[in-house]
Amino acid sequence: MKLIPKPVERAFLAGFRPFVDLLIRAGVRPNTITTVGTLLVLASAWEYGAGRLRMGGLLLLVSGIVDTLDGAVARAAAQVTKFGAFYDSTLDRVGDGATFMGIAVYLLTTRDEVAWRNPAIMVCMVAIISSLIVSYARARAEGLGLECKVGIAQRAERIVGLGIPSLLVGAGPRALVLEAIVAALALASVITVVQRFVYVHRITGGA
């Protein structure tokens, strides 16, 4: 089970199909879109670190939209390549780490009153590691010829779950809203890692 249902994903992709067609007509390559998406998420991480959380949330959401377009363009234009898949997956991991690093920098350096500052920074570290393991577990399973997309929190859930609240309320009083979101995403990522371990163990018969 995923936090974002499949029908919602399909409706989202259908809504952006005109943009996909426009990019194809303009000759924009999927790897170029991937690069732009990564630059946006790095800019988002910078904004988080600088304490401009609403702008960070906005850029994060835009980067998520761009991230869906590269694969859609590649499939629609028959430009799917092994290097493109590698490039996209690798830069996604850069984005995952950068986002939570930016939040950790904000919590560490802000002069605003912050509740649970040190524990929250440690939770950011857990979020970084767990989000990377979520992706690695899928990649390693696929390297063994297994499809492994199970889990409640994949990249889309992390982007939406962090981006929308940041855009709407920023950090919240004493940064409690931001801390709660990061803790929830870290927990969801840990659960997803466990789900993928259990799934791969089950389909391989524990061998």
Q: What percent of the chain is modeled with pLDDT above 70?
A: 94
Rounded-to-integer distance, Cα 197 and Cα 167, Å: 34
* Cα–Cα nearest to 155, from 130, 181, 128, 131: 131
Specify the CATH number for the domain of residue 21: 1.20.120.1760
Q: How confident is the model at residue 41 (pLDDT cuts 50, 70, 90)?
A: very high
pLDDT tens digit sequence for 62-75: 998 898 888 888 88
Q: Please give the share of the chain, as a percent, with pLDDT higher than 90.
A: 50
Q: Which amino acid is at 140?
A: R
pLDDT in tens, 118-150: 999 999 999 999 999 998 888 888 888 888 888
What domain range includes position 65?
Answer: 6-203
Q: Is residue 1 part of a domain?
A: no
Residue 88 lies in a domain: yes
The total number of structural domains in the chain stands at 1
Q: What is the pTM of this model?
A: 0.89
CA distance 153 to 82: 25
pLDDT over threshold 70, residue 115: yes
Q: From 24, 98, 86, select the one nearest 60 (Cα to Cα).
A: 98
Q: Is residue 175 part of a domain?
A: yes
Query: In this structure, is residue 60 part of a structural domain?
Result: yes
- What six digits make up the tokens of 160? 């939406």
| Residue 107 forms part of a structural domain | yes
Cα angle 198, 199, 204; round to 5: 100
Please check whether residue 63 lies inside any domain of the structure: yes
Enter the tokens of residue 24. 């194809």
Indicate whether 124 belongs to any domain.
Answer: yes
At residue 78, the pLDDT reads 82
Which residues are known to be catalytic? 92
Note whether residue 97 is domain-resident: yes
